[in-house]
Structure 1
Amino acid sequence: MTVEPLVVVGWVLLAVVVFEGAGSAFVSWRRAVAVDRRNRAGLALLEARLAAAAVDCGRQGERRRLAWSGTRRLTVVQVVVENSEVRSYLLGPADGGALPPFLPGEYLTFTLWPEAAGGRPLSRCYSLSGDPGELASYRVTIKRAGPPPGEPAAPPGRASTWFHDRVTVGSILEAKAPSGHFLLPAEPDAPVVLIGAGVGITPFMAMLAARARAGVAREFHLFYGCRDGEAHLWRREMVRLAATDERIRLVVAYSRPRPEDRPGVDYQHGGRIDLALLQRLLPANNFDFYLCGPAAMMTELTAGLLAWGVPAERIHGEAFGPASVPLGVAADGAVAHRVAFLRSGKELAWEPARGTLLALAEAGGVALESGCRVGNCGACKLPVKSGEVRYVASPGRAPDPGNCLACVAIPASDLELDA
């Protein structure tokens, strides 16, 4: 049978039209599927945000209802020896009432009366390290602090020594309600990088517990540094959380691993956490970075992150204790000033390398009250008789007019202080 050429051409054209139509339909179907997936993902994200907002709203109401002003008596209900240097203290209300919910990253401010303080109270802040959803008790975790670095003859930390040597089950402590500003972004899906060293892991354990309880999709990159396996706090809990959720990326660094510490199993990096490690393991620098640990680590990493292009407002630091130094003390544009401590009869020369007013006073033999040393507790408040100050870290609560917080303030002019 002979087929006319025009018929063949017609069939070919029809096939082309059908094929193109099928291809177009397939592309449209693929697009519809992609749009549907995006819509489903967007709906799931919206539902997660609404659920998180509802939980937060309820917890905020409980916080307002149960929070206390001033100090409250808390009973030590359990003491857990975490390792040779670190202990956790579980605290319940001595009055039998309920404890308000706390936000992961908050701390308790204690008023302590150790004998080494000479009859004067000490104010100290310790991060809450427990699960924010478990409100039968609060947990704080405290390392026994030795002499300051480079000063072996100096006395050990008064507050931590008192906790380790004197505080037992049944002890009564005085504390203010949970507070703080070391908090995760409000968006439940915003990825974060958490960097903790030693006992600086404490606020991050509360964050991990809260994340697991809420079931949010936030991506966590957790870098934890410590000396070795014996100093590794909550190893099993960390590994369990990371193993059950692919959105938690855990990197453990041992600075001085023991022969029995297994690389790739107990830890992933030999050495300290530094910028090179972060740049090697992170996909980019567009995260919120949270740092908690020794002052030297925080100062070095903050400078490195800034040099890497991370905006200053996306770098968050928490540091407590006598070795803590607020970030950015050597503030841009700072020049030398004269600081007079009127009641002590001393006049000291300040320059950026001398640090905060509290550090200047201590180096010059002027005794000042202090507590958290990061602008939270208010123990170092001083009346300013003349001159101006500026802050190298935002105070947790602004002091009354005419006063300054010496632990986070530097001179902006010559100063006269009532101290």
Structure 2
Amino acid sequence: MSRVDDLLGRVTTYRTVSAALGVVLAAALVLSLSGSVHVEPVALAVSVVVAVAVTLLVSLACGALWRVPVHRESSVITGLLLALLLRPSTAPLDLAVLAAAAAAAGASKFVLAVRSRHVLNPAAAGALAVGLVGVPFGAVPATWWVATPALLPVVAVAALAVVVRTRRGLLVGTYLVVAGGVVSVRLVGLGLAVPDALWTSLASYPLVLAAAFMLTEPLTLPPRRRQQLAEAALVGALTVTPFTLGPVWSSPELALVVGNVLAFALGQRRAVRLTVVGHRDVTPAVREVAFAPERALRFRPGQWIELHVPHAGVDRRGTRRVFSVASPPGHVDGVVVAYRLTPAPSSFKRTLTSLPQGVVVRATSVGGDFLLPRRADVPLLLVAGGIGITPFVSQLAALARAGERRDVVLLLLLGPGDEPPYADVLTASAARVVVVAPTPPAVLPEGWEHRAAPLLEDAVLREGVPDAHRRLAYVSGPPRMVVHARRTLRRAGVRRIRTDAFAGY
């Protein structure tokens, strides 16, 4: 799985989603030619063009009107989803309905938004809008035609790629268990055998697509895991529970919109404007940027923030990136993020590195569950790989500011010749720090220890932290390092492990 993480980590989440949807549509086109999928090939091609073009054009027009940057790839994803939801056709009325859904979806990011953050999943909003408004006039609502046994293998593989890239397996699994369970129970009650009921729930209902490609839409999720799982269960149940309330009837798009409204009520209800106040090199390989938020930013130590930095010459990594906040709440420098400098940085990193003071960027979401326990008597083992130290810096700095002393051992994994980042913060925290690196750093702060190893090995853990088995462990860093460290901790008898991997960081 670490090799898959490395492969997917080379592209952004948005690029992964758009590529996965493209594969599904390409498979549908091929299967339509053989008659395995009952849509017209020409109609499918025309529908994709109309859905993507209208969504993108309306988004660009709204962006110009509202004077805000437009995330074009997000608009492309919305158009591709709508092409999978509304049945392909070349009939003028059907194309008009599709165009209306695409226009509603593109506009919803701006009209149904609060301080630059959209509230509803755009594709769900567009599909729901044409269903509510167009059906009385003869329009065909969203049929989710992609939910067919012939396409399920392709949809499942594409969904798996998205789930691995977004690390939303538990969220998607919760939705599928609840929705699939409700459908299966109902089908068994109608006389189907249990295996047939389970197969039908996955092959003939749009559960996999809705869960992996729409429920996981990042800007419309609650900030905390337990909130996300509660939303997934609710949306899953609503998706497959038949009901009619006047002009409103049960549908996957309605269930998603209800979940979006709930998530908005629970989360950061606005996009945050951040003004660049300074840069500094933490080490020769680590760069830090400090921002002053326009309004107080609510977050807890260990959580992440997603930055949106539009720029020219955008490469495949895109214009949005997630960073762990490296500063504690209420820090004098505002909100601080850090990242590793590489010989061939992405266009995002190049732009972020060169932003002058006074430039304003947006934080589109804040969240995460990589939080220390509230109880101060729980012994902790923190394992950081390189830039994975940033959430621990926020946490340890917050503890030091509060005057709270905890039993903390920090294992800091460094590459050859790397300097330990944030040595001042780590020293001030009074945590016991063990540096794991092939060679000792040029400067090893007083009281720190060094263990010679390229990775976290069994002997290093056994000798450096002999009581690891009684500690609550946190692991943060690149996916491959996190997987290896987790296995090493398991072998040492550590049973409570929480991880925070920086996929494609």
Give TM-score, length-normalised by structure 1: 0.51
In structure 2, the partner of 1:201 is 389
Aligned 8 A contact 2:272 2:297 in 1: no
| Aligned pair partner of 1:277 in 448, 460, 463 | 460
Any runs of at least 4 consecutive aligned residues in structure 1 with deviations exceeding 4 A, and if so which? 118-121, 260-267
Query: 1:119–1:72: structure 2 CA closer, same or farther, 3 Å change rule?
Result: farther
Tell whether 2:319 aligns with 1:130: no
In structure 1, the partner of 2:473 is 289
Per-residue displacement from partner, 1:235-282 (whole Å, max 9, x unpaired)?
23323332xxxxx22212233446x55698665222233332122222
In structure 1, the partner of 2:278 is 78
Tell whether 2:369 aligns with 1:181: yes
Structure in which a larger fraction of residues adopt strand: 1
Q: How many residues align?
A: 240
Shift of 1:232: 1.6
Tell whether 2:489 aligns with 1:319: no
**Aligned equivalents of 2:445, 2:282: Cα separation in 1:** 22
Per-residue displacement from partner, 1:306-337 (whole Å, max 9, x unpaired)?
233333xx2111122426xxxxxxxxxxxxxx
Q: How does 1:11-160 map to 2 (within 5 A)?
A: 68-93=268-293, 95=294, 98-117=295-314, 121-134=318-331, 137-146=334-343, 156-160=345-349
The structure whose Rg is larger is 1
Q: What stretches of structure 1 of length at least 5 have no aligned partner? A: 1-63, 147-154, 243-247, 324-419
Tell whether 2:408 aligns with 1:249: no
Tell whether 2:497 aligns with 1:309: no
In structure 2, the partner of 1:414 is none
Query: 1:144–1:277: structure 2 CA closer, same or farther, 3 Å change rule?
Result: same
Shift of 1:122: 2.7
**Aligned equivalents of 1:182, 1:91: Cα separation in 2:** 22
**Aligned equivalents of 1:123, 1:176: Cα separation in 2:** 9
In structure 1, the partner of 2:360 is 172
Aligned 8 A contact 1:145 1:160 in 2: no
Aligned 8 A contact 2:461 2:468 in 1: no
| Aligned pair partner of 2:352 in 163, 168, 178 | 163
State, as a whole percentage, how many aligned pairs show the same letter: 27
In structure 2, the partner of 1:235 is 423
Aligned 8 A contact 1:201 1:224 in 2: yes
Per-residue displacement from partner, 1:198-252 (whole Å, max 9, x unpaired)?
111111011111111223342111111223665221223323332xxxxx22212
Per-residue displacement from partner, 1:133-178 (whole Å, max 9, x unpaired)?
42661111111245xxxxxxxx6434323322x3222222110343
Question: Which letter maps to 1:102?
Answer: F
SS in 2 for 1:87: strand
Q: What stretches of structure 2 of length at least 5 have no aligned partner? A: 1-263
**Aligned equivalents of 2:277, 2:372: Cα separation in 1:** 29
Shift of 1:289: 0.8
Aligned 8 A contact 1:75 1:91 in 2: yes
Shift of 1:78: 1.1
CA-atom RMSD, angstroms?
A: 3.1
Question: Which letter maps to 2:279?
Answer: V
